[in-house]
Amino acid sequence: MPSLRRSRLANAWLALTFALTLHVAEGALRNYLDFYNPLAMSLRDMLLWTWMPTFTFAAWIGGWIVILAALYGMTWFAAYPVRWIVWAAIAYGDVIFLFAAAKLAFAVYLAKAIPGVYTAPLLLAASCWLTIEAVLALRRPSA
């Protein structure tokens, strides 16, 4: 039976993954690729090389389905946090925090509501919760 701390880590992992699911749904509903693909192509033209690929909707949503399924599947491991899942939770939380902060900053810079900006604060909150729970799990001697 997982302890209270362990279940809190799993709950935080699940909350961040659910927030990410809402973020992807917002992007799909608000035509994220109509914003992203021209941006990626213009950066390719300006920089002559970029790692930013362009996507069709089917490839984009299919990739997210696979990623989200893997993240939901990893929630079970977060209930019994061995060191690797705790460090993975810290990395997951920190990457999503930076992603959401960059999305909000870019929206402010462009002075418009880009796709995904409405769920970005939810990602910030959930990623902070996951990082805090993971750090607390690291401080336990059994983790």
Domain span at residue 98 reads 4-139
Count of structural domains, the chain: 1
Q: What is the pTM of this model?
A: 0.90
CA–CA distance, 27 with 31 (Å, rounded to integer): 6
Structure tokens at 132: 């805090």
Residues in the chain: 143
Confidence of residue 139 (pLDDT cuts 50, 70, 90): confident
- Per DSSP, helices labelled H in the chain are 4-29, 32-47, 57-73, 75-78, 83-110, 120-139
- For residue range 32-83, what is the model confidence (pLDDT) as tens digits? 999 999 999 988 888 877 788 999 999 999 999 999 999 999 999 999 878 8
Question: Is 29 exposed, middle or buried, given 0-12, 13-18 or 19+ CB atoms closer than 10 A?
Answer: exposed
Cβ proximity of 107 and 117 under 8 Å: yes
